[in-house]
Amino acid sequence: MKKDIIIPTVENVFIAVVQEWSDDFMEKVWFAYLVNDSDFNLDGVMIVSKAFGTIDGEMKKTSLLRHAFVEVPAVSVVKIEMIEKSVLALNNEFMVTFFIGEKLYDRKFIFKANSITPDYVEEVPILFVDGVIVR
């Protein structure tokens, strides 16, 4: 019975974190983006994010944040949320669920603790700016 269940693989959809200037904070802050580098529209997109890990030997975790997008067109990006600098020392997880046609896809993207830094940047497709990518 389990062998009959087909779990589709998420391809060309990923999360990128980009540093941008914020007038509200008067400094550069990190923003998470959903990048759809595929030839398909993503419908009914749900993203649940959280951060968790250990700081100074004490277990920490944030609240869940939920985001919904009716559609993310092919070869496009959508801004998800700002990542507060105090949670950069934690693992940042984004659970992404969406439809392509009638098929449901889901994938968990995790930025490991302290990996969101200028040391790990590369060019983000479609945005053409430097950022940290988890594929």
Which residues 6+ apart lie within 8 Å of 21 measured at CB? 27, 28
Nearest to 84 by CA among 24, 14, 125: 24
2-134 fold: Immunoglobulin-like (2.60.40)
Per-residue pLDDT tens digits for 76-119: 999 999 999 999 999 999 999 999 999 999 999 999 999 999 99
Q: What is the pLDDT of residues 56-81, one digit of tens each?
A: 999 999 999 999 999 999 999 999 99
Residue 32: Cβ-neighbour burial (10 angstroms; 0-12, 13-18, 19+): buried
pTM: 0.94
